């Protein structure tokens, strides 16, 4: 006979009660095994959405989801450190960051995901490289960490299976926007990866999931508390996502821009955030005496990138896919570009084929938006402002509709805003 009944657990949270450790452990285990029906878990997710959880409940819920599957045992010669972003537009930072931190002496096991909606997916970007493969076995991950220092790949099937089920359920029951459920979903996967340390990039603004700084701060604090409770050294940066990162938003064009950064060039905001996150990661890994800006400028990070791509079957020197069709959006007037809305640009790239509405949808490697000017840049009427890249020209009108109010030109330059807004530590 079961120790608990699902309806009692639902009622306890519905009425604002605190779930005990035993109730949480039983619930996650029973749901993973199929003993709790989908409609019952949907009701509990809504109760959590409305009533919330305290820090102890969230930590236990996360631990139960970790325990639903395997936990990687990363026995490698270097200190292990991971990074996670809550998602943004043009957020290609993992691509230059993983090889940079590896070139500084750490091991970076970056288990990543695919894009959904207006936010891009790291695996989709890397799959635009001919031959590159996302799926690796645990032994392949560990060997690559030892030999190269960095791996970016898909999560193995055995990691946090409870989260996979619950994630899909939240998506169709309007319970996604719950900080306890968001935080436990992120951290159950990240802690199960086995790294000793974790740096989080919690984005805020129009192109982010958390639209305001207070929301981002609450999520960042919750994530750091969970990591600390589970013995993982954790830090979070709250970063601005009102404007796309860099110039490229898509798949292959983001890879190309990342390579520019690794070769010592690239957009200043991408370089700034890459180095800022690298410094936090190296500090947690005990390597704070290494200057990531110097390593990036030296070319050593690019060498590590080439080895990392080749180790997963990719050709780092191969030409990247190019779009069949390019549509240019001109500047409407002379002046200074004062705004470029990240969300609108992300939606446009998605509609052009760079993203997907459902997990099973394909993406176009060459699709995306190239931002030829950023806020603060002077523009002339008729000057190319955006390039829309796609293999399906019939998608351009819907992308243009998304961009209708996405940018503005004025006679006065906008006030500059910092990229890194806050740092949250235990």
Active-site annotation, residues: 84, 163, 170, 185, 189
Beta bridge partners of 195: none
Q: Name the residue among 302, 316, 308 with its Cα closest to residue 263.
A: 302
C-alpha angle 51-210-351 in degrees, rounded to nearest 5: 120
First to last CA, the chain: 41
Secondary structure of residue 81 in the 3-state scheme: strand
d(CA 180, CA 326): 42
Token duo for residue 349: 């790239």
d(CA 203, CA 219): 10
d(CA 10, CA 30): 14
Task: List, in order, residues 6 or more apart from 294 with CB less than 8 Å away.
Answer: none
C-alpha angle 183-189-192 in degrees, rounded to nearest 5: 125
Secondary structure of residue 164 in the 3-state scheme: helix
Task: List, in order, residues 6 or more apart from 270 with CB less than 8 Å away.
Answer: 92, 93, 96, 245, 246, 257, 258, 261
Token pair 């819907």 in the structure block, residue: 398
Task: List, in order, residues 6 or more apart from 358 with CB less than 8 Å away.
Answer: none
191, 225 in Cβ contact below 8 A?
A: no
d(CA 363, CA 81): 30
151, 145 in Cβ contact below 8 A?
A: yes
Distances (CA, A) of 281 to 222, 290, 302, 309: 19, 11, 18, 21
């Amino acid at each position: 006979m079961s120790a608990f009944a699902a309806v009692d657990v639902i009622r306890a949270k519905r009425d604002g009660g605190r779930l005990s450790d035993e109730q949480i452990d039983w619930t996650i285990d029973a749901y993973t095994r199929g003993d709790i029906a989908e409609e019952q878990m949907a009701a509990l997710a809504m109760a959590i959405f409305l009533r919330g959880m305290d820090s102890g409940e969230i930590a236990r819920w996360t631990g139960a989801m970790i325990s639903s599957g395997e936990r990687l045992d990363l026995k490698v010669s270097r200190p292990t450190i991971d990074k996670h972003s809550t998602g943004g537009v043009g957020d290609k930072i993992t691509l230059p960051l993983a090889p940079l931190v590896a070139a500084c002496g750490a091991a970076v096991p970056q288990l990543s995901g695919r894009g959904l909606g207006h936010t891009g997916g790291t695996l989709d970007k890397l799959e635009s490289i001919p031959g590159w493969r996302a799926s690796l076995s645990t032994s392949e991950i560990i060997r690559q960490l030892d030999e190269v220092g960095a791996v970016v790949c898909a999560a193995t099937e055995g990691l946090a299976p409870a989260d996979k089920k619950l994630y899909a359920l939240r998506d169709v029951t309007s319970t996604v926007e719950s900080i306890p459920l968001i935080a436990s979903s992120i951290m159950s996967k990240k802690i199960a990866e086995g790294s000793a340390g974790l740096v989080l990039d919690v984005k805020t603004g129009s192109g982010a999931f958390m639209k305001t700084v207070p929301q981002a701060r609450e999520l960042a604090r919750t994530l750091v508390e969970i990591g600390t409770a589970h013995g993982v050294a954790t830090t979070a940066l709250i970063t601005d996502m009102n404007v796309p990162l860099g110039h490229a938003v898509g798949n292959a064009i983001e890879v190309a821009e990342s390579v520019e950064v690794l070769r010592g060039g690239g957009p200043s905001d991408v370089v700034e955030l890459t180095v800022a996150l690298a410094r936090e990661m190296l500090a947690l890994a005990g390597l704070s005496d290494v200057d990531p800006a110097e390593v990036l400028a030296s070319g050593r990070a690019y060498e590590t990138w080439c080895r990392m791509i080749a180790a997963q079957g990719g050709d780092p020197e191969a030409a990247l896919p190019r779009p069949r069709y390019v549509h240019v959006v001109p500047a409407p007037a002379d002046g200074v570009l004062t705004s470029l809305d990240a969300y609108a640009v992300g939606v446009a790239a998605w509609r052009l084929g760079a993203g997907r509405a459902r997990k099973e949808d394909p993406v176009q490697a060459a699709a995306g938006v190239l931002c030829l000017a950023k806020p603060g840049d002077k523009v002339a009427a008729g000057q190319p402002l955006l390039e829309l890249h796609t293999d399906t020209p019939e998608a351009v009108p819907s992308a243009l509709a998304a961009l209708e109010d996405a940018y503005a030109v004025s006679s006065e330059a906008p006030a500059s805003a910092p990229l890194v807004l806050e740092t949250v530590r235990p």
